[in-house]
Structure 1
Amino acid sequence: MKTLLCYGDSNTHGTSPLLPDGSWHRYGPETRWPRRLASLLGPDWHVIEEGLPGRTTCHDNPFDGPHKNGLRHLPVALECHAPLDLFAVMLGTNDLKAYFGLTPFDIAKGIRTLLTMVQQRAPGRDGKPPALLVISPVPIDEVGAWGESLAGGAAKSRRLADYLAEVAEEFGALFFDAGSVAQASPVDGVHLSEEAHLAIADGLAKLLRK
């Protein structure tokens, strides 16, 4: 059986779009893209969800706490779930928050930092690094409850896929642009609809079957 670790933020966790009153829910396992992907790949794959709302690539969040830093938790996730055959990362959306002041190039450097750690810690079979998959998040829109905190992020998000594709090529990783099959919900401009989760899972399944 092959083991796939999906490392991401709220859109891997399955957080629904945030309503104007601040309410939200977590989609059921039959909807969340990692679980949907598992069902599409079949019993030969063990797919692990490792999604934390608010997670960045490698930056402490000054408001929500240092545990949102994806680099801090990565060693724990790798050791908990080793050995891995494939490590997939879909991060960068939270790095677009205005108070970080990051460029798409900077965010791609964050992904590079994570992939470097995965290779160095080599949590794959026989002490080797697992295969890598870089997933570029869907572009965002500055609307709803998140609009103000993401000022300037919409334009940056539409440039991110090109930079992440370069990072994937650098590491010999697979690459998938989630924005090629799905878009953020118009409700809050950040989170995915149920249909978007299913589309991403379907696209990834087609890629991995190759």
Structure 2
Amino acid sequence: MRTILAFGDSLTYGTDPVVAGKRHEHEDRWPTRLEAGLGGRARVIAEGLGGRTTVFDDFSAVGDRNGARILPTLLASHAPLDAVVIMLGTNDMKSYLCGSALGAAMGMKRLVEVVRSHPWPQGTSIPGIVLVSPPHCVSTEHRDLDPMFKTGIEESKLLSGHYKRIANELGCGFFDAANVAKADAADGVHLDAENTRAIGDALAPLVKDMLGL
């Protein structure tokens, strides 16, 4: 059976946009839906952490949110892997961390380098990589997230263009989640259960093709 790592932030974790602290049911999270769409021929390991960035430090949060720093540990924990699906960049849009779609794209480029330079077990192949640009941030009246992402809303719309270019340059798969999912205006960032499921469902054909399933 093939093994896939789904590496992301709160959108991968399944954070509910309306009820603070609530998490979507397991069956509604996109990694679960992706696994279901692969028809039992692969297992998907979900590694989602709220606030995670591509490569930027956020010392205002509990735990290490820097994706580039934690990724090698996760690769070693779950090796060998057949594919790594990375959906990050939303938290990079925070004005006090990066606030730039190009900056997030450079972070994703670094994550690809981390995967490909990892000391994989002897006899195993480097996993395929899919870069996923997250749904756009939207306007909200949330008292914390509105000022945090005020400038990031327009930048988030540029993520897909930069990610697609990086994916093409590096020979990775690419998927634009904004084509199938939209953030909830309750907080401007997170997705309801239906939109979260839609990402996993839409990713399944791409991952199937990549792995030859």
Would the TM-score normalized by the shorter structure come out above 0.5? yes
C-alpha deviation, 1:71, in angstroms: 1.0
- Percent identity, aligned pairs only? 39
TM-score normalised over the length of structure 2: 0.92
Is the 1:29–1:36 Cα contact (8 Å) retained in structure 2? no
Q: Distance in 2 between matches of 1:69 and 1:204?
A: 25
Change (3 A) 1:207 1:118: same
For residues 147 and 51 of structure 1, what CA distance do their matches in structure 2 show? 23
- Helix, strand or coil at the partner of 2:6: strand
**Residue from 69, 82, 86 that aligns with 2:83:** 86
Task: Indicate which of 97, 101, 105 corresponds to 1:104.
Answer: 101
CA distance in 1, matches of 2:121, 2:146: 40
Q: 1:184 touches 1:191 (CA, 8 Å); kept in 2?
A: yes
Aligned-residue RMSD, C-alpha: 1.5
Aligned letter for 2:177? A
Deviations 1:41-67 (Å, cap 9, x if unpaired)?
Answer: 122101000000000001110311560
Contact 2:17/2:189, CA 8 A, preserved across alignment: yes
Superposed CA offset, 1:157-193 (max 9, x none): 0011000001111121110000011110121110011
Q: 1:192 to 1:75 in 2, by over 3 A?
A: same
Which residue number corresponds to residue 196 of structure 1? 195
**Deviation at 1:142?**
3.3
Aligned to 1:67: 64
How many residues of Structure 1 are paired with residues of Structure 2 in the alignment? 207
Assess, with a 3 A threshold, how the Cα gap between structure 1 residues 101 and 36 changes in structure 2: closer, same or farther: closer
* 1:118 matched residue in structure 2: 115
Q: Which runs of 4+ in 1 moved over 6 A?
A: none
**Cα contact 2:100–2:152 (8 A) shared by 1:** no
- Does residue 185 (structure 1) correspond to residue 184 (structure 2)? The answer is yes
3-state SS of 1:63 partner: coil
Helix, strand or coil for the counterpart of 1:186? Answer: coil
The residue aligned with 1:176 is: 175
Q: Taking structure 1 as reference, are residues 186 and 72 closer, same or farther at Cα in structure 2, changes over 3 Å only? A: same
Indicate if the aligned counterparts of 1:139 and 1:157 stay in contact, CA closer than 8 A: yes
Report the alpha carbon displacement of residue 102 of structure 1 after superposing the two structures with TM.
3.5
3-state SS in 1 of match to 2:195: helix
- Provide TM-score, normalisation by structure 1: 0.93
Distance 1:189 1:125 in 2: 44
Question: Which shifted more, 10-19 or 45-54?
Answer: 10-19
1:72: Cα distance to partner?
Answer: 1.2
The AA in structure 2 aligned to 1:193 is: D
2:148 is the counterpart of 1:149: yes
Match of 2:44 among 28, 35, 47: 47
